[in-house]
Homo-oligomer: A and B are copies of this chain.
Amino acid sequence: MDVAHSGVLEVGIPVACRSCQARHGVVCGVLSSGQLKDLGRHSLRRKVDAGCEIIAQGSESSFYSNIMRGVVKLCKVMPDGRQQIVGLQFAPDFVGRPYVRESTLSAEAATDAEICVFPRNLIDRMISETPELQRSLHDQALKELDAAREWMLTLGRRTAEEKVASLLDLIATHAEPQTATSTAFDLPLSRAEIADFLGLTIETVSRQMTRLRKSRIIRIENFRHIVVPDMDELERMIGA
C-alpha cells in the first residue's frame, strides 16, 4: 500500500516480475532482489495454449517453470494408452522435479496459460545456496504429497458420484473464493480429462454430473461453467 516502501523493496527487480502472479510464490517470493534480477535475466516468459506439453514423460528436461496464469495437469500414460492425471497445478505453483532430471510424468497446459521458464542449473545452484528456497520447495513438495495422498483415498475408496463431487470441490477451492457459501467457476478440464483424473470413463463422469445437476447440488452452464449454490451441500456428497 505504501508507495515509498514498496518502491524501496521493488527497486531493481525485473520489470516483468513486478506484476507477476508468481512474484510472491514458492520460488520468487523467497529470493533476494539480486537473485531475482539474476533469475529474471535468464528466464523466459512464455504463453502456451491449452494442450501444449511443457514436459514430456520419460524425457530429460533442462528447465523448471513457474505458472503465472492458468492450470497445468500432471499426467502418466501407460504403454497401452491408459492414462491417469496425478495432479493439477495452479498459479503460482512451481513445476519440475529437483534432483532428478528424467521426468516420470508429463506436464501439459490444461487451459491457455503463461509460464515463466527457468534454466535448471541456475535454479539448482540457487537451491543449494539459499536455504530459504530449499525450505520453500520442500514445503510445496510436502503439500503436493498431502494432496496426492488425499486423492489416493478418492481413487481407491470413493464412488463415482463422490469422485465427481471431490473434483468439483477441488476446483472450486482453487478458483478464487466467491460469496460465503456459493461459488461459480469454469472447469479447466474436459470430461475426458476429468475421467482420467478420477479413474472413470467419460460416460460415467457425464452421468454423475447430470445426477448432481438434477439433485440441485450444481448448475451447469455451457458444459464448462459450474455454479455451486451451496458448497456445504457439495462437501456433504464427498462423504468425508
Which residues of chain A from 144 to 195 have a CB within 8 Å of any chain B CB? 144-146, 148-153, 155-158
Q: Which residues of B contact A79 (CB under 8 A)?
A: 239-240
A163 to chain B, nearest CB (A): 10
Contact of A153 among B78, B128, B153 (CB under 8 A): B78
Asked if B148 and A149 make an inter-chain contact with CB atoms under 8 angstroms apart, the answer reads: yes
Asked if A152 and B153 make an inter-chain contact with CB atoms under 8 angstroms apart, the answer reads: no
Asked if B135 and A105 make an inter-chain contact with CB atoms under 8 angstroms apart, the answer reads: no
Asked if A152 and B98 make an inter-chain contact with CB atoms under 8 angstroms apart, the answer reads: no
A87 interfacial by beta-carbon distance below 8 Å = yes
A19 to chain B, nearest CB (A): 29
Asked if A142 and B97 make an inter-chain contact with CB atoms under 8 angstroms apart, the answer reads: yes
A82 to B145, CA, bound (A): 21
Asked if B84 and A142 make an inter-chain contact with CB atoms under 8 angstroms apart, the answer reads: no
A138 interfacial by beta-carbon distance below 8 Å = yes
A134 to B104, CA, bound (A): 24
Contact A156/B198 with A137-B138, A142-B98 known, Cβ cut-off 8 Å: yes
A141 interfacial by beta-carbon distance below 8 Å = yes
Contact of A155 among B98, B137, B141, B155 (CB under 8 A): B155
Q: Which residues of B contact A84 (CB under 8 A)?
A: 152-153, 156-157
Q: Beta-carbon contacts of A209-240 to B below 8 Å, as 1s and 0s?
A: 00000000000000000000000000000011
Asked if A104 and B146 make an inter-chain contact with CB atoms under 8 angstroms apart, the answer reads: yes
Q: Beta-carbon contacts of A63-92 to B below 8 Å, as 1s and 0s?
A: 000000000001010111011101100000
A99 to B148, CA, bound (A): 17
Contact of A145 among B128, B135, B139, B145 (CB under 8 A): B145
Q: Which residues of B contact A83 (CB under 8 A)?
A: 157
Asked if A82 and B144 make an inter-chain contact with CB atoms under 8 angstroms apart, the answer reads: no
14 A-B pairs with CB atoms under 8 Å apart are A76-B149, A78-B153, A78-B240, A79-B239, A82-B157, A82-B158, A99-B139, A104-B149, A128-B135, A131-B131, A138-B141, A141-B141, A141-B145, A144-B145
Additional pairs, 19, CB under 8 Å, beyond known A76-B153, A84-B156, A105-B149: A74-B149, A76-B150, A78-B157, A82-B158, A87-B149, A97-B146, A100-B142, A100-B146, A104-B146, A104-B149, A128-B131, A131-B131, A134-B135, A137-B138, A138-B141, A152-B152, A152-B155, A155-B155, A155-B199
